[in-house]
Amino acid sequence: MDNGKISAQITKLADLLEFQGANSFKIRAYRRGARVIKDSTDSFETIVSHNPSQLLQIDGIGKGVAEKITQLVQEGEISEINEILETVPSTVLDILRIPGLGPKKAASLYQELGIQTLDQLQAACQANEVQQLKGFAAKTEQSILDGIAIAAAANERIYWSDADELAESLRTHMQSCPAIKQLEFAGSYRRGRETVGDLDILVDSTDAATVMAHFSEYPDLAQVIVQGDTKMSIRVGNSFQVDLRVVETNAFGAALQYFTGSKDHNVELRGRAKQLGLKINEYGVFRVEGDSEVYVAGAQEENVYQTLGLPCFPPEIREARSEFDWAKETSIPELIRGEQIQGDLHMHTTATDGKASIEEMAAAAKARGLKYIAITDHSQRVTVANGLDAERLLQQWKEIDRINARRDDDFLILKGIECDILEAGPMDLPDEVLEQADWVIASVHFGQKQPRQQITDRITGALENPNIDIIAHPTGRLINRREAYDVDMEAVFQAAKENNKMLELNANPVRLDLHDIHCAMARERSIPIIISSDAHKITGLDVMKFGIKQARRGGLTAEHVANTKSWDKLQTLLSK
């Protein structure tokens, strides 16, 4: 059980306790403990297995939290959560996912209106019943209505990063089954969609019974939904569905293509097959001869496409957007790969809200094969992160110069800053400071609900500033948590193009901002993209792979991503 899962359960307990109106000190202790667990680079599962008493030596972990961690690791659950859910419907957790609502207001809705589900809440808002409650208003009611769709989506789909972790766990478990010849994952997970509704596992085997018996022994299995001769569906963890299909060798490639999708991509394939006198489905490609069908291909996915006169498209671009035009007019682009990234140009240190020093981040980045990084702590407007004023920033840059001077390798630490675009429009730090930087990121953290023109003008104005190199997380969205702010992205692209500036693809799996369509739009306009980790701790550097997956969905190659270049070559792309 990894730290993320432990932290999530402690947070869930805190939410339920606050929903019940429990002691506020106890709730704060659980929330603090959850943050400590999430941010730690040490495995809490390992600590518990070796010596649970060592938990009390960790700052932020009190006796109560330590007891819950130990119980969760040793027994797989926290009994207090189960006890609370005997008196409170589990569906109230869906309501808690509504952005900005909070456990106290959710409790008021439950206690005073008897609201237990998102559907009931939506009906109450539409009937103007919610605004009649104390502490609520018409504006609050509308905000809740706007957030219900986000909460519903969060309940149905999980982040690709979480699906990837689950997939690797399932792969490890299934690979120990001797009856399996081949195993692959399909569906939206394989295509790299930013959220995933379920997982599809395809297995090549002649012994489906043995495979399904092994599948049923997966440690995190919560329920067997259905089981047939060659198909089995289960729920794991918090009710996420995993579907297993067992197929024969000569159909494995066809099944992999079919169940990878997308639906629109497959519709196009079926149309092309029909024009060639062929039929394509999950069992293979068949030549139609009168009333009979003759098997042509299906064992390998490549052969399925080859039979239709097509290249084997990378899964990430199988969305019936541009892939068939590329195949017809030119060639399929060689999509970017993780090993092509040379530098990470967005990260934070202990100077603001990071968890590691400059040298620790540099060492970790070098160990991951990078050639350069930019230290980009927050500027002073972000007071909650102890943002840097001009004096502190200049001191940090002097420290970076000293570190670079005493290094005996060719790894480079760049002097950077993530500078806020203030609500009124100007930058958070003076130009005479920014012009001394190697790398300046401009970002919006406040005033995200401003009118469309105002927020667009803030961003385009920053792009016109000669000291700004790039806009970070350009739409401000948090997947399943917060909608993008209302910004005219066409105007942003135009300003970036005219001013020779770059846009960020933030690789944090909760952001993935720019999204895939915006990445494709930037590609078409020849606007360089930087894929950044936005790391706040050493392990945060590892999210780069999620940004790579998103970039591939946007059709980006190494040529479209500027930080695949050396720092010297990247500088030639900058306007300053």
pLDDT score of 153 more than 70 = no
Phi, psi of 219 (to 5 degrees): -55, -30
How many Cβ atoms from other residues are within 10 Å of residue 365's Cβ? 22
Secondary structure (3-state) at 137: coil
Rounded Cα gap, residues 4 and 37, in angstroms: 8
All domains in the chain, ordered by first residue: 3-156 (1.10.150.110), 158-247 (3.30.460.10), 263-326 (3.30.210.10), 338-571 (3.20.20.140)
DSSP string, 266-297: HHHHHHHHHHTTEEEETTEEEEEETTEEEEEE
Residues 6+ apart with CB under 8 A from 111: none
Rounded Cα gap, residues 573 and 552, in angstroms: 22
Which of 131-135, 274-278, 532-536 shows the lowest mean pLDDT across its residues?
131-135
pLDDT score of 344 more than 90 = yes
How, if at all, do strands 158-159 and 195-196 pair? antiparallel
> 20-27 contacts: CB < 8 A, separation 24 or more?
20/84, 20/88, 20/107, 21/104, 21/107, 26/64
Rounded Cα gap, residues 6 and 72, in angstroms: 7
pLDDT, one tens digit per residue, over 168-194 is 999 999 999 999 999 999 999 999 999
DSSP string, 357-390: -HHHHHHHHHHTT-SEEEE--BBTT-GGGT-B-H
How, if at all, do strands 221-227 and 182-185 pair? unpaired
Question: Which whole-number Å values give the CA distances from 469 to 125, 259, 347, 391, 463, in the listed order?
Answer: 44, 42, 15, 21, 8
Angle between the 160-174 and 544-553 helix axes, to the nearest 10 degrees? 100
pLDDT score of 208 more than 90 = yes
Secondary structure (3-state) at 221: strand
Secondary structure (3-state) at 155: helix
Write down the pLDDT at residue 515.
93
Q: What secondary structure letter does DSSP report for 58? A: S
Rounded Cα gap, residues 432 and 446, in angstroms: 23
Predicted structure pTM score: 0.79
How, if at all, do strands 199-204 and 182-185 pair? antiparallel
Higher pLDDT, 510 or 88: 510
Residue 497: closest CA among 477, 513, 521, 514: 521
Write down the pLDDT at residue 542.
97
Higher pLDDT, 97 or 444: 444
Query: Which residue type is seen at 265?
Result: H
Torsion on CA atoms 319, 322, 324, 329, rounded to nearest 10: -170
Q: What is the mean pLDDT of residues 408-420?
A: 96
pLDDT score of 154 more than 60 = no
Chain centroid to Cα 342, Å, comes to 21
Residue 518: closest CA among 529, 509, 507: 529
Residue 504: closest CA among 467, 533, 531, 536: 531
Give the largest CA-CA distance in the chain. Answer: 82
Write down the pLDDT at residue 481.
82
Tokens at 250, concatenated = 């000569």
Q: What is the mean pLDDT of residues 86-112?
A: 80
Instruction: Return the beta strands (E) in 444-483 as ranges.
Output: 470-471
Rounded Cα gap, residues 295 and 292, in angstroms: 10
Which of 98-112, 321-335, 354-368 shows the lowest mean pLDDT across its residues?
98-112
Rounded Cα gap, residues 357 and 118, in angstroms: 44
Tokens at 70, concatenated = 């130990």
Rounded Cα gap, residues 58 and 116, in angstroms: 37
Torsion on CA atoms 553, 558, 562, 565, rounded to nearest 10: 150
Question: Does residue 384 contact residue 396 with C-beta atoms inside 8 Å?
Answer: no
pLDDT, one tens digit per residue, over 415-468 is 999 999 999 999 999 999 999 999 999 999 999 999 999 999 999 999 999 999
Tokens at 397, concatenated = 């840059």
Secondary structure (3-state) at 354: coil
Which of 80-84, 139-143, 372-376 shows the lowest mean pLDDT across its residues?
139-143
Instruction: Respond yes or no on whether the N-terminal peptide bond of residue 292 is cis (omega within 30° of 0).
Output: no
Rounded Cα gap, residues 138 and 143, in angstroms: 9
Q: What is the mean pLDDT of residues 87-97?
A: 77
Residues 6+ apart with CB under 8 A from 325: none
pLDDT score of 156 more than 80 = no
pLDDT band at 576 (very low <50, low <70, confident <90, very high): very low
DSSP string, 169-190: HHHHHHTT-TT-SEEEE-HHHH
Query: What is the average pLDDT score of the chain?
Result: 92
How, if at all, do strands 284-289 and 292-297 pair? antiparallel
3-state secondary structure 310-345: CCCCCHHHCCCCCHHHHHHHCCCCCECCHHHCCEEC
